Each structure stands twice: as structure tokens, then as C-alpha cells.
Homo-oligomer: A and B are copies of this chain.
Amino acid sequence: MHYNKNMTYNTRQKNSITELISEQSQEFAVKDIYNELIRRGEDLGLTTIYRVVDELTEAGKLRKNVSADGAVRYQYLADCNHLGHCYLKCQHCGRLKHADCHLVRQLTDHVRDEHGFQADEKQIIINGTCERCINEN
């Protein structure tokens, strides 16, 4: 939270971390990034990864997710600020699928008009089980 605010200098560590993160298609923990980089022979500290992850989160590149058991995981995000968008979050594998759907728009409009609730278009989350996990079980 009170790490360095700037990302003015390029460093070996930052580059390694941001590159690995940008390849992640699933949720990951800070420790996962650390473990993988160490496994690859990189030499860096856990603290640095916390700092970069925090910066990326503030920059909107990562979504921070804290599950009910307290585990903190991050999801690399492409931009998607438009309306009619929601997240389908699989509670089994942690994948966060983006879905565009006219019904989402209808729902948020309705909820605003009838329930007086202004939905945050970037924060509509439908938890459940994804196709892959349904088929695997």
C-alpha cells in the first residue's frame, strides 16, 4: 500500500515480473510469481514482487481477488470498461471469463430503475462453475 509510487526506472526485476504476469491467463498468487521466477534462475526478492503487483493493480492491469479463506490472488486484465459486460468466475479453477451480453445491460438498467441501485459495470460477478470444470467432474 505504501510502496514506491513511481515506476520511473527500468530494472531487470521489474521486467521479469511484468513479463511473467502478462502471460498469466489464470488467477495467480504473489508467491506463484516468486516461485516461478526463482525456478527460472532469476535472482530477486519477494518484496519486489509485492511492490510491482501493487503498482500494476493500481494501474488497473491486475484485479485483486481475495477468496473467502483469505487467499489473495490476482488476475491479469485486458481493458473492458464497456457496458453489457460481466465476469463469470469459476470457483473451482479460479478462471475469470469475460462475457458480453445484452442481458447484463438489461439487468443493470432494471436494477437502477426499479431497485435504485447504480451498478458498477466493471464489478458484476457471476460465481459458478465453468464449462471445463463441469465436464471434468
- Contacts from A to B (Cβ < 8 Å): 1, 64, 66-70, 72, 88, 90-91, 97, 99, 101, 103-104, 106-108, 110-111, 114-120, 123-131, 134
Q: Are B107 and A101 in contact (CB under 8 A)?
A: yes
Q: Are B97 and A117 in contact (CB under 8 A)?
A: yes
Q: Are B97 and A118 in contact (CB under 8 A)?
A: no
Copies of this chain in its oligomeric complex: 2
Expressed in whole angstroms, the minimum distance between the Cβ of A80 and any Cβ of chain B is 15
Docked CA distance A124–B126 (Å): 5
Q: Are B123 and A118 in contact (CB under 8 A)?
A: no
Docked CA distance A129–B116 (Å): 9
Docked CA distance A104–B124 (Å): 12
